[in-house]
Structure formats: C-alpha cells, structure tokens
Structure 1
Amino acid sequence: MTIHKEGYKSIGFAALIFGLINIASFIFLGDNYPKTATIIFIASAILFLFIVSFFRIPYRSLTKGEREVICPADGKVVVIEEILEEEYFKDKRLQVSIFMSPANVHVNRNPVSGEVVYNKYHKGKYLVAWHPKSSTENERHSVVIKNDKAEVLVKQIAGALAKRIINYLSVGQEVHQGNELGFIKFGSRVDVILPVGTKVNVQLNQLVKGGVTVLATL
C-alpha cells in the first residue's frame, strides 16, 4: 500500500494538529487526569489513522479488456437506469453510479482506454451523493473518453463531505484503462454514462473495486 500524492498536505496538517493536541493534553492533564489524557491520545490517534486511510492506494492486479468497462471507483452501486443525458450526448443513455463512502479508496481510474474528447468542470451544490439530483446539480467534473467501441462519460461528483474534486485529464490526451483519472477527497460518487443496450455486469448494492471489477461489456 502507498499514500496518494493528494494526501501529503492533509496528512501533514493532521499530524501537526495531532501532535499539538496531545502535547497540550499531557502538559495540562497528564499529572492530574492521566486517564483523560490517554483517552484524548487514543481518540485523536484513531482519527489521524482514519484520515491517513482516505489517501491509501492498495496494491492491486488491475483488470484490462478492450470491450470491458472497468469500475472507475471503489464503492457501492447505487443507480442502474436509463436517463436522458443532457450535458454531452443529448440523448438516452445508461447510467451506472457508484457511491464512495469515507472508508473507500478515493482514487478514480479510467474505465476504458481512448482519447479524451470532452473535459468540463461544473460548479454546483453539495447535496448528499445518493440524492437523485446530485448528478446534475452538484459540483462535478465530467470527462468523455472515446475509442473505436464507444464514448464513455465519467462524472466525478462532490457530495455533502467531498468538497474537492481533482481531475488529471485534458482534451486530446490518450489515456489507458486503469490509469488515474483523478481523485475525490473524502468520498462521494462517480457516474458512468454508457450507450443504451450495453451489458451491465454489476447489480444494485453490489460492492465494487476501482480498476478491478468489470462494470459493463461494450
């Protein structure tokens, strides 16, 4: 396991706060209230380790396949439905959405290989990630990857806790399946928009792994 580069500043800041809280705790409480100081140390250590876990990247054997659409994120499948996609395609599409909890790995990966033909950031609200309107009203970053099989739209969507979306792609860039697409700090949601008729290989409420689970077959 490694730590993602997006976590260095957050972990450093958390470590500083952890140190200051416990230095103050043992100075002012250590002699007269040692149990209280110990409780503060344990609670702050658990919180610090939890923050570190946000930015972990576990070692995985990534799935590859020209016809496969691989899950771009860890989490739980919360939506599988046909929609009228109004941002890019302007027609009916199949949407599969993955909810990322704070406990999930937060790196996002390219579901397919191809050329980035669309990349746009949208300001928006911070509705809870499972809200039906979060896909269109929340802060989000949309990218479309095109290859000879299909065009796949991926939306990184902010939620009530996730207030920073990071995207590494640019229009005209050739990307490879499984490589990093971006990062959402502290979890939220990723939507994958596919052609109608695409075979979906996951089910509602299924737990999936980014870069590993086959989401659909083109």
Structure 2
Amino acid sequence: MKDRYLFLLGGHSFQAEANRQFLEQAGGSHARIALCIMNRPGWEDYVPLFQQMWTEAGMTQNVRVIVPDEDGNLDMGHAEQVLSWATGIFIGGGNTEKYHHYFATGPFKELLIDRYENGVPIAGNSAGALILPETCLISPLDNEQGIMMFKQGVGLFSNVLISVHYTEWDDQSNLLLGMKTGKVRHGIGIDEQACAVFINGQLASSLGESVYTVTYEDFDEDRYTIVKKTS
C-alpha cells in the first residue's frame, strides 16, 4: 500500500521546500494538482502564483481549481471530476468556518477521504490544515465571535489538535485550552513559515521554521511538555 502524505502549512502557502516535497509525492513532473480555495475578491490572482511555483518545481500540467461560485454553490460534479483527475490536492487558507463548510462535510469530505486512502497527497495551508484532522479546533483568534470552536474535521488523522499561526498569533494558550477541554493529549502548533509532514497519520518531520509538539501528561494538574522542532 502506498504511503499517505499530508503537508500541514501554518499560514504561508508558498513555502518552497514544503511545496517541492508535496509535488514530488504527487508525481513530480507528471503531477496533476487540484487547488481548493474560497471565492473571495482577487482569488483568481492567486492561481497563477501557485501555477508558477509548481511549474518552477517541475510540474508540466495546468492546475485545476475547485471554488464555490458567486452564489456560494459548489459544483460537486466538477469537484468529483477534478479530484479524480488529481494526483495531489492543495487546500488553501482563509475563513476556516467556510473552508470547513465546503471541504470538510458531506460528499466533498468523502471524496477527500477516498483520494487520501488511495495515496493522493494532500496539503493544507492554515484553514486548509485545520480541517484535515478528526477534530477541527478553531481558535478564538480565528472567528468573528471570538470563541473556541470544535468541529468534526475530515478525519485523515486522529487524537491530535492543530494550531496554525502558532507563534505569530501567540496561540499556545488556546491550543492548551482546546486540548484540556477536549481531553486530547497531543497537539501540534505550526508557525506561518513552517510545515508539519504526516506519513500514514503520524507526524514524520517538520519543514521551514518551527513546529511545536505539545503533550499533556496530566489534565487535572495542568502538566504538559512542549518540544520545538525545526528542519
């Protein structure tokens, strides 16, 4: 069985080494990438930037985009066609609640799981990273209500909570509170210029700046350990 790869980027989509490794797992020069993003002003301007980055890394195919239309509808027929064609899937960043709504629920979620189980590597930046585990933790700093949210994620790995923009947002206390509230012993904080690489559901390496592994030894006594990992 082919190893299953996830690339969780902490806030900056255009990390050279993370994207090089993602593209390599997706087939290198033969890679076919599906880019899943939100419909917001200027979204079209980002597509050539992704295309250029992956082309410079050796890709010869054009990126295909999955994006809701102006009315907020997602064409599932198109999505299924593109995901079936793709050898790599990249989920962008933005409003985490919207990314969760469109890409971590219903038929789209099932398509993602199927592609992942069949060895298609998936990369997610910021919101795109947060929706991939079993539990999607949304920081109070990441929504208009300013509250902590727990949502059912895609479920590509479990028993770990993820925090993005970790150092930049000073999000450690929110990750710890989320872990304590949900009784989840393992957490990972990812800085904006960092990427956590998972292989077969387990953290395998870190790229770029810092990735922090957080382990709760005792919830009642509030005892935990934080280890900083750099590439």
Same fold (TM over 0.5): no
Is the strand fraction higher in 1 or 2?
A: 1
Higher helix content, 1 or 2: 2
TM-score (norm 1): 0.23
Between structure 1 and structure 2, the one with the greater Rg is 1
TM-score (structure 2 length as normaliser): 0.22
| Bigger RCO (CA 8 Å, 6+ sep) | 1
